[in-house]
Homo-oligomer: A and B are copies of this chain.
Amino acid sequence: MSANSRLTIAAHALAWIGLYQRQGHEVATSEQIATSANTNPVVIRRLLGELRKAGLVESRRGVGAGWAMARELGSITLLDVHQAVEPGPLFAMHRAAPDQDCVIGYGIQPAMQGIYEGIEETLRRELARVTLEDVLRDVLAAPR
Chain A residues within CB distance 8 Å of chain B: 1-5, 7-9, 11-12, 15-16, 19, 35-39, 78, 86, 88-99, 102-108, 110-112, 114-115, 118-119, 122-123, 126-127, 130, 134-135, 138-142
Residue of B nearest to A102 (CB): B36
Chain B residues near A111: list those with CB within 8 A: 135, 138-139, 141-142
CB <8 Å contact, B112 and A135: yes
With contacts A3-B1, A90-B1, A91-B7 known, is A19 near B104, CB below 8 A? yes
Q: Is the CB of A1 within 8 A of B86?
A: yes
A103 x B19 contact (CB < 8 A): yes
Q: Which of A35, A89, A111 has the most CB of B within 10 A?
A: A111
